[in-house]
A and B are shown apart, each in its own frame.
Chain A
Amino acid sequence: MHAGRLSPDVEMMAARTTPVHLSLGSLLYYWPRDKVLAFYEEVETWPVDSVYLGETVCSKRFELRMADWLQIAKRLSDRGKQVVLSTCELIESESDLRTLRKITGNGEFLVEANDLGAVHLLAGKTPFVAGPYLNIYSRMSLEFYRGLGASRWVMPIELSEAGLREVLRDADLNMETEVFSYGRLPLAVSARCFTARYNNLSKDDCGFRCLEHPDGLTVSTQDDEAFLVMNGLQTQSARVYNLIDEVAGMIAMGVSHVRISPQSAHTADVVAQFHAATLGDAEATAKPAPWAPEIACNGYWYARPGLEQANAAGNIPASHGRKSST
């Protein structure tokens, strides 16, 4: 379970104006309904500005229905959070499209478009967030989406600091920029359910085994290095992407939103630490947290293999991030 409400200190800090916003990405895992409801009740008190809601991985997950998400959205909105409804990253069936239309036509909350179908339903009608799966790697492509009405974009996880700097170089972008900054990286999506496959079940009769893995199911190499995580149709990194040390740089570059991806434990602590970082509290970020992930990574930010952990100069310490050959 996650670590409860924040201390009064942190809640007070939340009231201060910050130059960059914290956002909580959509919940990527499949948790029991009660756990989800309890989680978002806590989020109401956290110093996050934007909260992304909805099922983005698998349309078969139904612990929460659209009405439930909207109810959570209203409560968070009443507590002053900006709510963004996220669309599913894989839209295949007519039933998927019906859900998609409900989200894009909700009439109240901003929507994060995660495929071109969602873009079709939003373009020219209402401002939207161009999600990370739209693959915007260049200023040329970003400007196209801006022309359709995107008011914010979330850069692809593969983009580096240098790449982002280049995209943001001309000052007159007039869009918000969000960076996935903490959590297991969503690396790939398939129509095949890998969790069902592991359990020798078909996707149509999967038994909702994802419920048994609140942070996904670890895939290791044969020499026992944790490598990836199965999360139904989604494949994630086993290492936790952590850009806590890059927040100051992001602010200087013009990043407006720093995204934290929910996990089953310690999300409140992660939020508190990032919040301190956005306030320039170097001390809060310097000390290693007792709950910190075993192995973090930040390679993509330094234009290196994503699984690597580079220091602030972009160098890979000899003993880290790369197994020595035997």
Chain B
Amino acid sequence: MTLSLESMTDAETSAQEHCGTDNRKDRAERMKLVCPAGSLPALTAAVDNGADDVYMGIRDETNARNFAGLNFDEKSMRDGIRYAHTHGVRVLMALNTFPQPTTWQKWQRAVDIAVDYGVDAIIVADMGLMNYAANKYPQLRLHLSVQGSATNYEAINFVHERFGITRAVLPRVLSIQQIAQVIAHTPVEIEAFGFGSLSIMVEGRCALSSYATGESPNTHGGCSPAKAVRWEKKADAPGVLDSHLGAVLIDRFSADERPGYPTLCRGRFKVNDDIYYAFEEPTSLNTLELLPKLQDMGVKAIKIEGRQRSPSYVALVTRVWREALNDCSSRPEAYQVRPAWQTALSRVAEGNQCTLGAYHRTWK
């Protein structure tokens, strides 16, 4: 990409065309499908259904899906990595929370473990940890996590210059034009979210959960933790069910509503006299219809969210996206979203509905 800065005045609209042309030569290498592995059965499901990369975490707060019963101990890690490698699938280790004041050595040990077990890359958010990994293991492939909050190319290029990162995962806040703009100005591979839970806040920049419960993604690897959830039937209102997170009432469901998990930013709150989803409705991100565009822009990998979801979710979503990516890379001009894909995905989507999120500017 040789576009000079001077020619980039208001480049958000033109960057897309430019990089479409410039990246065409790279297109032989199709976009990688990066799938969640919250457990060994989920990893197997991802591998069997066509993932190019799987990502996993160790069973502690060093990763952003630190939920009871999820993630990998030593044995399942060894088995999982062997299974993936036997099938030509790469394994990425998420070490994407922020090392804490008294326990930061645990994050360093997690890097050592990842290298020891032979993962293909680690996904890191904290600059101190990135520094450790890059110095100790110069050959280790480094990805910048979405939790690193790098929303522009200056940020990504900083991490590239310092640590030689290969890939950066973009926060789910950029529009498609802004993603094109980033790609036009960085040598780093860009990974974008394709499907799954939609983060409303910039990843790595949200403390709502710890405000209510004491635990957040940054500090404990979890948002709206299950142990802080409390359901309460209203004695004075039959059929009404309240969901609390810590001391906070997140939502109130009437008898004819299906209660949803009280994720803080998906609650119904009151502003003046309006009670509504003040931040976001329960919905999933789904960018199937944007695939040819993302491919043409030079996005190198598509990430599926959901390490906290079941192996059957992983199997279904991986299969759909494998087919879509195959269609898109073989005949991009004829690409069409198949109704069966959408039906399958909306079955597993939050609130059974999907959105294009920030990719589509009107969402903002």
Chain A residues packing against B (C-beta within 8 Å): 89-97, 100, 115-121, 123, 133-145, 156-159, 162-164, 166-167, 185, 187-194, 197-198, 202-204, 217-225, 227-228, 230, 235, 237, 299-300, 303-307, 321-323, 325-326
Give the chain B neighbours of A137 by CB distance below 8 A.
98-101, 104, 126, 218-219
Chain B residues packing against A (C-beta within 8 Å): 8-12, 98-102, 104, 108, 125-129, 131-132, 148-159, 161, 173-175, 178, 181, 200-202, 204-208, 210-214, 216, 218-219, 230, 232, 235, 246-252, 265, 267-271, 274-275, 278-280, 358, 361-364
Give the chain A neighbours of B98 by CB distance below 8 A.
135, 137-138, 141
Known: A135-B98, A227-B248, A322-B247. A194 touches B278 (CB 8 A): yes
Give the chain B neighbours of A118 by CB distance below 8 A.
154
Contact B214 A89 (CB under 8 A): no
Contact of B128 among A97, A144, A225, A321 (CB under 8 A): A144
Contact A138 B249 (CB under 8 A): no
Contact B207 A187 (CB under 8 A): yes
Measured CB to CB, the nearest residue on chain B to A118 is B154
- Complex A-B, nearest 9 residue pairs according to Cβ-Cβ distance, in ascending order: A141-B128, A120-B158, A117-B154, A191-B173, A116-B155, A163-B101, A306-B211, A166-B101, A138-B104
Contact A224 B181 (CB under 8 A): no
Contact B154 A97 (CB under 8 A): yes
Known: A138-B128, A163-B102, A193-B364. A198 touches B278 (CB 8 A): yes
Contact B270 A220 (CB under 8 A): yes
A320, B53: Cα distance in complex, Å: 49
**Chain A: minimal CB distance from B112 (Å):** 14
Known: A117-B155, A138-B128. A92 touches B269 (CB 8 A): no
Contact B249 A222 (CB under 8 A): yes
Contact A307 B205 (CB under 8 A): no
A89, B201: Cα distance in complex, Å: 12
Contact A91 B102 (CB under 8 A): no
A120, B158: Cα distance in complex, Å: 5
Complex A-B: 5 CB contacts under 8 Å: A89-B205, A135-B125, A137-B104, A185-B207, A305-B213
Q: Is the interface of B mostly helix, strand, loop or mixed?
A: mixed
Measured CB to CB, the nearest residue on chain B to A235 is B208
A303, B131: Cα distance in complex, Å: 27
Contact B358 A191 (CB under 8 A): yes
Contact A227 B102 (CB under 8 A): no
Known: A137-B98, A189-B205. A156 touches B151 (CB 8 A): no
A158, B217: Cα distance in complex, Å: 11
Give the chain A neighbours of B157 by CB distance below 8 A.
120
Contact of B271 among A90, A133, A220, A305 (CB under 8 A): A220
Contact B173 A90 (CB under 8 A): yes
A185, B206: Cα distance in complex, Å: 11
Give the chain A neighbours of B148 by CB distance below 8 A.
116
